[in-house]
């Protein structure tokens, strides 16, 4: 009887720990003509199983704690088993005492080249380069995990970001674009290195304070808005020394629509200084900032 109970307990624990992500992976091959669509269907199925069934960490996640996210892969061209693509990575997390889910990440990586043979096994090994396909998908899985942790605990994502950085370092062996600083100034190399750099810690502080404000909205809406405003003003202070920082853009790409919504409704607070700061920090979103109501 005790053996049966122990087995069932371990089984339940295994189910709880087995997965951390609730991810929808989509492979879009509509840009290709006369392609074997079955290959892309198989790839899509394999990637969904890979992301959702891999135990990325040893933390216990119950079903309702899994991180909702998506990876949208657009195949741009192919030659035999070589593919050129882009990948849009998005994630969100629920707000305390609310049915609302706030966007955490919305990032488009345009340098996603990989080799794939139908039915090949996708296996993640953090110390070995298996393929660029596995490396990119694993890298963004840990970015999602790390950014989610950062919304709950100040710099709580460090353990996941460190694994992502290791993946990036190992993946350079494959020679694919996006892993090196010579491939441009806004790619996977800079995403993870900036995330772990003290130079840009203000972005992660803004992330934590901003989401703390969102979580407080059910108790004190005006106070929560003031806290969110302060977090964004701090982001503006970073912009004065590091204008157009990559991580600042990553943050605002996910949050711009939400910021507009938060500060366009009641209760009203002073936002003239916030609008001025946002216009300096993200002028590309000025059309949104001008819609924020005083």
Look up the pTM and report it. Answer: 0.93
Tokens describing residue 123 = 């296996």
d(CA 12, CA 275): 50
pLDDT of residue 76: 97
pLDDT of residue 59: 87
**Alpha helix positions (H), the chain:** 2-18, 37-53, 132-152, 158-171, 188-195, 201-215, 221-241, 246-262, 272-281, 286-289
8 A C-beta contact, residue 161 and residue 155: no
Q: pLDDT for 84-125, tens place per residue?
A: 999 999 999 999 999 999 999 999 999 999 999 999 999 999
pLDDT of residue 13: 39
pLDDT of residue 35: 79
Question: From edge to edge, which strands make up the β-sheet containing 21-28?
Answer: 21-28, 67-79, 82-94, 101-115
pLDDT of residue 294: 64
pLDDT of residue 18: 54
Tokens describing residue 221 = 């809406």
Radius of gyration of the chain (CA): 21
Q: Which residues of the chain have pLDDT under 70?
A: 1-18, 294
d(CA 27, CA 246): 27
What is the DSSP secondary structure assignment for residue 21, as one 8-state letter? E
pLDDT of residue 63: 87
- Which phi and psi angles does 21 have, rounded to 5°? -115, 140
C-alpha dist (Å) from residue 80 to 83, 98, 132 = 8, 48, 16
């Amino acid at each position: 009887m005790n053996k049966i109970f122990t087995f069932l307990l371990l089984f339940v624990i295994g189910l709880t720990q087995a997965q951390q992500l609730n991810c929808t992976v989509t492979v879009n091959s509509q840009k290709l003509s006369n392609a074997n669509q079955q290959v892309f269907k198989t790839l899509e199925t394999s990637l969904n199983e890979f992301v959702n069934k891999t135990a990325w960490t040893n933390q216990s996640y119950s079903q309702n704690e899994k991180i909702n996210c998506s990876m949208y892969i657009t195949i741009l061209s192919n030659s035999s088993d070589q593919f050129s693509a882009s990948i849009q990575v998005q994630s969100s997390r629920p707000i305390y005492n609310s049915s609302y889910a706030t966007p955490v990440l919305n990032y488009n990586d345009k340098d996603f080249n990989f080799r794939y043979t139908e039915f090949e096994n996708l296996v993640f090994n953090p110390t070995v380069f298996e393929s660029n396909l596995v490396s990119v998908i694993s890298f963004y899985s840990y970015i999602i995990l790390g950014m989610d942790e950062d919304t709950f605990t100040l710099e709580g994502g460090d353990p996941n970001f460190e694994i992502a950085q290791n993946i990036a370092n190992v993946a350079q062996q494959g020679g694919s674009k996006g892993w090196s600083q010579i491939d441009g100034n806004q790619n996977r190399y800079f995403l993870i290195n900036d995330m772990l750099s003290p130079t840009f810690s203000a972005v992660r502080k803004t992330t934590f304070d901003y989401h703390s404000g969102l979580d407080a909205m059910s108790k004190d809406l005006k106070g929560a808005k003031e806290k969110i405003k302060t977090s964004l003003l701090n982001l503006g202070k970073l912009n004065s020394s590091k204008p157009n920082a990559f991580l600042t853009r990553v943050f605002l790409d996910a949050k711009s629509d939400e910021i507009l919504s938060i500060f366009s409704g009641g209760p009203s607070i002073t936002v003239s200084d916030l609008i001025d700061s946002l216009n300096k920090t993200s002028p590309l979103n000025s059309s949104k900032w001008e819609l924020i109501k005083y």
